[in-house]
Structure 1
Amino acid sequence: MPANPSLRHVVLFAFKADAGQDAIDAVVSDFAKLPDAIPGIQAYEWGTNVSPEGLNNGFTHCFTLTFGSDADRDAYLVHPAHERFVGTLGGALERSLVVDYWTQG
Protein backbone atom coordinates (compact mmCIF):
# COMPACT_ATOMS: atom_id res chain seq x y z
CA MET A 1 0.00 0.00 0.00
CA PRO A 2 1.33 3.49 -0.79
CA ALA A 3 2.70 5.52 2.11
CA ASN A 4 -0.16 8.01 1.71
CA PRO A 5 -3.11 6.19 0.14
CA SER A 6 -5.96 8.23 -1.28
CA LEU A 7 -9.64 7.47 -1.42
CA ARG A 8 -10.97 7.59 -4.98
CA HIS A 9 -14.67 8.17 -5.64
CA VAL A 10 -15.42 7.11 -9.22
CA VAL A 11 -18.77 8.06 -10.76
CA LEU A 12 -19.97 6.79 -14.15
CA PHE A 13 -22.96 8.32 -15.93
CA ALA A 14 -25.13 6.92 -18.72
CA PHE A 15 -27.44 9.56 -20.14
CA LYS A 16 -30.96 9.12 -21.46
CA ALA A 17 -31.22 8.64 -25.22
CA ASP A 18 -33.22 11.87 -25.48
CA ALA A 19 -30.88 13.93 -23.30
CA GLY A 20 -29.73 16.88 -25.35
CA GLN A 21 -26.10 17.94 -25.53
CA ASP A 22 -26.92 21.13 -23.62
CA ALA A 23 -28.32 19.08 -20.73
CA ILE A 24 -25.26 16.80 -20.70
CA ASP A 25 -22.92 19.80 -20.84
CA ALA A 26 -24.79 21.33 -17.89
CA VAL A 27 -24.26 18.15 -15.83
CA VAL A 28 -20.54 18.19 -16.62
CA SER A 29 -20.28 21.89 -15.79
CA ASP A 30 -22.23 21.56 -12.55
CA PHE A 31 -20.16 18.56 -11.42
CA ALA A 32 -16.98 20.57 -12.03
CA LYS A 33 -18.19 23.24 -9.58
CA LEU A 34 -18.31 20.85 -6.63
CA PRO A 35 -14.57 20.88 -5.79
CA ASP A 36 -14.72 24.64 -5.20
CA ALA A 37 -17.87 24.32 -3.11
CA ILE A 38 -17.02 21.32 -0.94
CA PRO A 39 -14.00 21.11 1.36
CA GLY A 40 -12.12 17.82 1.41
CA ILE A 41 -12.02 17.18 -2.32
CA GLN A 42 -8.28 16.95 -3.02
CA ALA A 43 -8.51 16.36 -6.78
CA TYR A 44 -11.13 16.17 -9.51
CA GLU A 45 -11.00 14.98 -13.08
CA TRP A 46 -13.41 13.77 -15.70
CA GLY A 47 -13.52 12.44 -19.22
CA THR A 48 -15.62 10.58 -21.73
CA ASN A 49 -15.27 6.96 -22.75
CA VAL A 50 -12.80 6.34 -25.58
CA SER A 51 -12.34 2.59 -25.10
CA PRO A 52 -12.42 0.58 -28.33
CA GLU A 53 -13.57 -2.53 -26.42
CA GLY A 54 -17.27 -1.63 -26.39
CA LEU A 55 -17.69 -2.79 -22.79
CA ASN A 56 -18.91 0.49 -21.29
CA ASN A 57 -22.52 -0.73 -21.15
CA GLY A 58 -23.87 2.72 -22.04
CA PHE A 59 -21.73 4.64 -19.56
CA THR A 60 -20.14 7.55 -21.39
CA HIS A 61 -18.87 9.95 -18.72
CA CYS A 62 -16.45 9.20 -15.87
CA PHE A 63 -15.74 11.53 -12.94
CA THR A 64 -13.08 10.85 -10.32
CA LEU A 65 -12.77 12.69 -7.03
CA THR A 66 -9.93 12.14 -4.57
CA PHE A 67 -10.31 12.36 -0.81
CA GLY A 68 -7.83 11.94 2.01
CA SER A 69 -10.20 10.20 4.39
CA ASP A 70 -13.52 8.42 4.71
CA ALA A 71 -14.73 11.40 6.74
CA ASP A 72 -14.00 13.82 3.86
CA ARG A 73 -15.86 11.58 1.40
CA ASP A 74 -18.77 11.14 3.80
CA ALA A 75 -19.02 14.91 4.31
CA TYR A 76 -19.07 15.37 0.52
CA LEU A 77 -21.94 12.92 0.13
CA VAL A 78 -24.24 14.88 2.47
CA HIS A 79 -22.99 18.37 1.58
CA PRO A 80 -25.83 20.62 0.39
CA ALA A 81 -23.99 21.46 -2.86
CA HIS A 82 -23.67 17.74 -3.69
CA GLU A 83 -27.28 17.07 -2.78
CA ARG A 84 -28.43 19.97 -5.00
CA PHE A 85 -26.33 18.61 -7.87
CA VAL A 86 -27.76 15.10 -7.51
CA GLY A 87 -31.24 16.63 -7.49
CA THR A 88 -30.68 18.12 -10.95
CA LEU A 89 -29.72 14.85 -12.65
CA GLY A 90 -33.16 13.30 -13.16
CA GLY A 91 -33.88 15.02 -16.45
CA ALA A 92 -30.83 13.76 -18.28
CA LEU A 93 -29.42 10.80 -16.38
CA GLU A 94 -30.44 7.24 -17.25
CA ARG A 95 -28.29 5.58 -14.59
CA SER A 96 -25.11 5.89 -12.61
CA LEU A 97 -22.48 3.62 -11.13
CA VAL A 98 -20.31 4.61 -8.17
CA VAL A 99 -17.18 2.83 -6.92
CA ASP A 100 -14.97 4.00 -4.05
CA TYR A 101 -11.56 2.51 -3.40
CA TRP A 102 -8.36 3.17 -1.48
CA THR A 103 -5.37 3.43 -3.79
CA GLN A 104 -2.86 0.62 -3.66
CA GLY A 105 0.47 0.63 -5.37
Structure 2
Amino acid sequence: MTGLRHIVLCAFQSEATPETISLLTREFAQLKQCIPGVLHFECGSNVSPEGLDDGFTHCFVLTFDDAVARDVYLTHPAHLDFVDQLKPWLARVQVFDYFPQENPS
Protein backbone atom coordinates (compact mmCIF):
# COMPACT_ATOMS: atom_id res chain seq x y z
CA MET A 1 0.00 0.00 0.00
CA THR A 2 1.41 3.38 -0.97
CA GLY A 3 0.70 6.66 0.74
CA LEU A 4 1.88 8.62 3.72
CA ARG A 5 1.99 6.73 7.04
CA HIS A 6 1.18 8.59 10.26
CA ILE A 7 2.31 6.59 13.29
CA VAL A 8 1.22 7.51 16.81
CA LEU A 9 2.91 5.69 19.71
CA CYS A 10 1.20 6.04 23.08
CA ALA A 11 2.15 5.34 26.67
CA PHE A 12 -0.94 5.67 28.83
CA GLN A 13 -1.03 6.91 32.41
CA SER A 14 -1.45 4.26 35.08
CA GLU A 15 -4.96 5.57 35.78
CA ALA A 16 -6.08 4.57 32.27
CA THR A 17 -7.98 1.31 32.68
CA PRO A 18 -8.16 -1.29 29.90
CA GLU A 19 -11.77 -0.18 29.35
CA THR A 20 -10.68 3.45 28.95
CA ILE A 21 -7.96 2.48 26.48
CA SER A 22 -10.43 0.34 24.55
CA LEU A 23 -12.89 3.26 24.36
CA LEU A 24 -10.16 5.64 23.19
CA THR A 25 -9.05 3.12 20.56
CA ARG A 26 -12.61 2.85 19.22
CA GLU A 27 -12.89 6.65 19.12
CA PHE A 28 -9.56 6.88 17.28
CA ALA A 29 -10.71 4.29 14.72
CA GLN A 30 -13.93 6.27 14.10
CA LEU A 31 -11.92 9.21 12.74
CA LYS A 32 -11.52 7.26 9.50
CA GLN A 33 -15.29 7.43 9.01
CA CYS A 34 -15.63 11.18 9.51
CA ILE A 35 -12.43 12.69 8.12
CA PRO A 36 -11.90 12.63 4.36
CA GLY A 37 -8.56 11.31 3.19
CA VAL A 38 -7.95 8.67 5.86
CA LEU A 39 -7.40 5.60 3.69
CA HIS A 40 -6.57 3.07 6.37
CA PHE A 41 -6.45 2.78 10.15
CA GLU A 42 -4.88 0.04 12.21
CA CYS A 43 -3.73 -0.33 15.77
CA GLY A 44 -2.28 -2.75 18.27
CA SER A 45 -0.49 -3.08 21.57
CA ASN A 46 3.19 -3.87 21.89
CA VAL A 47 4.06 -7.57 21.85
CA SER A 48 7.79 -7.25 21.13
CA PRO A 49 10.08 -9.35 23.32
CA GLU A 50 13.06 -7.05 22.64
CA GLY A 51 12.37 -4.57 25.44
CA LEU A 52 13.05 -1.57 23.20
CA ASP A 53 9.58 0.01 23.40
CA ASP A 54 10.79 2.84 25.68
CA GLY A 55 7.52 2.57 27.62
CA PHE A 56 5.20 2.91 24.64
CA THR A 57 2.41 0.35 24.81
CA HIS A 58 0.10 1.11 21.88
CA CYS A 59 0.61 1.95 18.22
CA PHE A 60 -1.87 3.58 15.85
CA VAL A 61 -1.16 3.84 12.12
CA LEU A 62 -3.15 5.93 9.67
CA THR A 63 -2.50 5.98 5.94
CA PHE A 64 -3.18 9.00 3.72
CA ASP A 65 -2.77 9.55 -0.02
CA ASP A 66 -0.37 12.41 0.58
CA ALA A 67 0.73 15.17 2.95
CA VAL A 68 -2.21 17.35 1.95
CA ALA A 69 -4.69 14.72 3.16
CA ARG A 70 -2.67 14.31 6.37
CA ASP A 71 -2.74 18.06 6.94
CA VAL A 72 -6.53 18.12 6.49
CA TYR A 73 -6.76 15.39 9.13
CA LEU A 74 -4.48 17.24 11.57
CA THR A 75 -6.65 20.35 11.53
CA HIS A 76 -10.04 18.64 11.24
CA PRO A 77 -12.38 19.42 14.18
CA ALA A 78 -13.08 15.72 14.79
CA HIS A 79 -9.34 15.05 15.16
CA LEU A 80 -8.85 18.04 17.44
CA ASP A 81 -11.78 16.91 19.61
CA PHE A 82 -10.30 13.43 19.83
CA VAL A 83 -6.89 14.80 20.81
CA ASP A 84 -8.57 16.72 23.65
CA GLN A 85 -10.21 13.46 24.77
CA LEU A 86 -6.95 11.48 24.53
CA LYS A 87 -4.46 13.91 26.11
CA PRO A 88 -5.55 13.55 29.75
CA TRP A 89 -4.84 9.80 29.57
CA LEU A 90 -1.39 10.02 27.99
CA ALA A 91 1.88 9.77 29.86
CA ARG A 92 3.82 10.16 26.59
CA VAL A 93 3.16 10.26 22.89
CA GLN A 94 5.39 10.13 19.84
CA VAL A 95 4.35 10.83 16.25
CA PHE A 96 6.29 9.83 13.15
CA ASP A 97 5.24 10.30 9.52
CA TYR A 98 6.89 8.74 6.50
CA PHE A 99 6.44 7.69 2.90
CA PRO A 100 7.28 3.99 2.56
CA GLN A 101 10.17 2.97 0.34
CA GLU A 102 9.70 -0.51 -1.01
CA ASN A 103 13.10 -0.77 -2.66
CA PRO A 104 15.45 1.65 -0.90
CA SER A 105 18.57 2.40 -2.83
Q: Same fold (TM over 0.5)?
A: yes
Q: Does 1:96 align with 2:84?
A: no
Shift of 1:27: 1.0
Residue type at the aligned position of 1:68: D
| 1:22-101 superposed matches below 5 A | 22-101=19-98
TM-score (structure 2 length as normaliser): 0.92
Q: CA RMSD in A?
A: 1.2
Shift of 1:67: 0.6
In the alignment, is the contact (CA less than 8 A) between 1:19 and 1:91 conserved in 2?
no
Residue type at the aligned position of 2:65: G
TM-score (structure 1 length as normaliser): 0.92
Distance 1:5 1:36 in 2: 20
Structure 1 stretches of at least 4 aligned residues deviating more than 4 Å after TM superposition: none
For residue 12 of structure 2, what is the aligned residue in structure 1? 15
Distance 2:17 2:44 in 1: 18
Residue type at the aligned position of 2:35: I
Distance 2:4 2:84 in 1: 24
In the alignment, is the contact (CA less than 8 A) between 1:8 and 1:101 conserved in 2?
yes
Distance 2:87 2:66 in 1: 29
